[in-house]
Structure 1
């Protein structure tokens, strides 16, 4: 981690610390992260590092300093009991003053550029909402905020974009409370509310048993979408992805591929589970099993590309002659000399200006049928026809569905 503690002066003359991290570029928009009831612990510091990777100058203020400075708690036993005690004695109004001072300190930081936002969890989620109502922050995002139903009278003073993430099974903010919150915020411009079915309080915390990775990933993407839209920074994901692909398929040089990615990236070719997790495994994969295992006539036919706040979704047709063992696509199968085409979908996630992960999908059965590894007779396998129809939608549909004939002439 590149973080360090910095001092912030309170309005009443005291001082408290804020964990501060800088983006790889050295400067960027500002982001205040607001703690749970466990203080600025390892999880909060890890989040600071993650958001710094996304391009933000991050501060995580120690909001318990008036009760006890430098609180750093775990989630079980005596630590949980202490956290709840601190929460019971916590002065929210003074905390908002401290957040305002943190915002001022962040705006004065030599590395901070442009606007400033806040993201908070649990207690911090409530504080993010109140910061939106009481300070000049540019946007605020709260995860499983507690007690919002008791401060809805402040909704009318919110003037900045606000996003709230609610787990559906959260006993600290049940369905009735969520309905009251939704009604109070209905019609306000820039407000986004999301509910995550089956999830409980702390669903976005990887260190907690309630962690729900799919929901956490979705919430994180939504959070980044608001941060990018309001604060920036905006990266040219199209150019970054093009550069990565150029080194994969043109220069075929893993030493050029790896610098386009974060320090510990991962790649997963879903049908064959090939790729790697972490720098060393992935560089080994690229060096010995990918860049030089693609046939000489490999060609990608682009179909569509969708660029979002943190990822690119690329639709294309992969074409080549099976003139060598293609470890990542057809592992263990000797060359057949047969040409094939297969539609592929790549979902590429970025952290800041670097690739973080790739998920690549295709229909393996269609590939195996085209190279003669399986007999598609009597099976719903399209083969090369799936690629041809992707290019020409007028080609017949439902040719693999015998029951299609039975609906001819029936009302619909």
Structure 2
């Protein structure tokens, strides 16, 4: 659910529009999303929708309304020129006041759970993240590649909430000297976190942009969600949610129930075999015809460890089964061998809000091939069932593959 609302300004100058995105649950913590210099355009609306999927009531105020209401620019050369014009004319003090009005509005909305409000801003919004932290009672402010902060460090003493700043190493708008000045000035704040992303440039988190850097964007997003959840929520039992997903995959073997635990457009990636699916349609097809209904009847998992973070679960486990049918996702094209298999696996399970977003599943494919008789361990430095069993029995010898191991004794 997303629509525009009107926000009255604090100074009585009028009212302005803001894009409001509501999570599917209907409620959540309030989050102001600060625009780039391109206005409340499609990109920032999609960012707000994504944060709504994370469980936030996300509000994007039109910060250019005092100059030109409804600015909605793309990324052509002409759009860049217009955007920099708005940026150069912006009254920053009034923009922070308008962010404060957006905070007031969120607190008054029935969909917003609790008084603590978060803020996430990009580019211009990243600069305003710092000022929002210094001039408002926001509980957590996150800024992506903000510029000019080094000239406003005298306000740092006013920051009481959490502040997270993401910097791009190659950002010409905030070079190394400016960045180091900011980090040096803010590092003593008890709730400040500053991160630099090597090789990244300005706007590295703008999906589809010329400088989009997915690894940096993923790392920054994880840190952002962790910071927001620590100060404003929402709080979900990710361990329970993951268990429910696995229950429907392997116990009930119910594909609709499995898909119901996931976001609208999830994906699954089994790393060694490139199997799974991207998007609901392809993933449901994969689950129905090649996974949930197609696994060996004796397949079981033995948990070894679980780490639960702010937005993901990391599971270490042993999977056991008899290769009594073709297993498309693990041994595609391999006829049943009747062999018993035990393999060590790791799953990194990412969530958006209370729904599973994606799975990255890892295992040693060489160990699987050894156990079904397709790979000779005498010819290669690979192991079979011992790889999994050593997780539970540390007395299984180490270093037997290393021919030079015996020669290092006593050295």
RMSD: 0.9
How far does residue 398 in structure 1 lie from its aligned partner after superposition? 1.4
Q: How far does the alpha carbon of each residue in 1:310-351 deviate from its partner, in whole angstroms, 9 at most, with x for none?
A: 111010001011011111111100000000100000011111
Equivalence for 1:193: 194
Task: Say if 2:272 and 2:362, in contact at 8 Å, map to a contact too.
Answer: yes
Equivalence for 2:267: 266
Equivalence for 2:280: 279
How far does residue 404 in structure 1 lie from its aligned partner after superposition? 2.2
Which segment is superposed worse, 312-321 or 398-407? 398-407
Equivalence for 2:332: 331
Equivalence for 1:89: 89
Q: Distance in 2 between matches of 1:277 and 1:150?
A: 45
Equivalence for 1:377: 378
How far does residue 11 in structure 1 lie from its aligned partner after superposition? 2.0
How far does residue 393 in structure 1 lie from its aligned partner after superposition? 2.1
Equivalence for 1:294: 295
Q: How far does the alpha carbon of each residue in 1:259-312 deviate from its partner, in whole angstroms, 9 at most, with x for none?
A: 011111110111111111111111111111001221111110100011111111
SS at match of 2:320: strand
Normalised to the residue count of structure 2, the TM-score between the two structures is 0.98
How far does residue 403 in structure 1 lie from its aligned partner after superposition? 2.7
Equivalence for 2:162: 161
Equivalence for 1:21: 21
Task: Say if 2:119 and 2:129, in contact at 8 Å, map to a contact too.
Answer: yes
Q: How far does the alpha carbon of each residue in 1:367-386 deviate from its partner, in whole angstroms, 9 at most, with x for none?
A: 00011011121311111111
How far does residue 254 in structure 1 lie from its aligned partner after superposition? 0.7
Equivalence for 1:232: 233
Equivalence for 2:178: 177
Equivalence for 1:12: 11
Equivalence for 2:365: 364
With over 3 angstroms needed to count, the CA separation of the structure-2 counterparts of 1:72 and 1:272, relative to structure 1, is same
Q: Distance in 2 between matches of 1:296 and 1:208?
A: 46
Equivalence for 1:141: 142
Which segment is superposed worse, 170-179 or 337-346? 170-179
How far does residue 4 in structure 1 lie from its aligned partner after superposition? 0.7
How far does residue 179 in structure 1 lie from its aligned partner after superposition? 1.1
With over 3 angstroms needed to count, the CA separation of the structure-2 counterparts of 1:45 and 1:219, relative to structure 1, is same
SS at match of 1:402: coil
Task: Say if 1:43 and 1:207, in contact at 8 Å, map to a contact too.
Answer: no
Task: Say if 2:187 and 2:193, in contact at 8 Å, map to a contact too.
Answer: no
Task: Say if 2:127 and 2:146, in contact at 8 Å, map to a contact too.
Answer: yes
Q: How far does the alpha carbon of each residue in 1:132-185 deviate from its partner, in whole angstroms, 9 at most, with x for none?
A: 000111110000011000001111111100000001111111111111111111
Task: Say if 2:206 and 2:212, in contact at 8 Å, map to a contact too.
Answer: yes
How far does residue 406 in structure 1 lie from its aligned partner after superposition? 3.1
Q: Distance in 2 between matches of 1:76 and 1:376?
A: 57
Q: Distance in 2 between matches of 1:403 and 1:145?
A: 54
SS at match of 2:295: coil
Q: Distance in 1 between matches of 2:192 and 2:323?
A: 52
Equivalence for 2:57: 57
SS at match of 1:241: helix
Unaligned runs of 5+ in 1: none
Q: How many residues align?
A: 409
Q: Distance in 2 between matches of 1:79 and 1:404?
A: 64
Which segment is superposed worse, 186-195 or 399-408? 399-408
Task: Say if 1:20 and 1:58, in contact at 8 Å, map to a contact too.
Answer: yes
How far does residue 12 in structure 1 lie from its aligned partner after superposition? 2.5
Q: How far does the alpha carbon of each residue in 1:3-39 deviate from its partner, in whole angstroms, 9 at most, with x for none?
A: 1110001123211001001111111110000011000
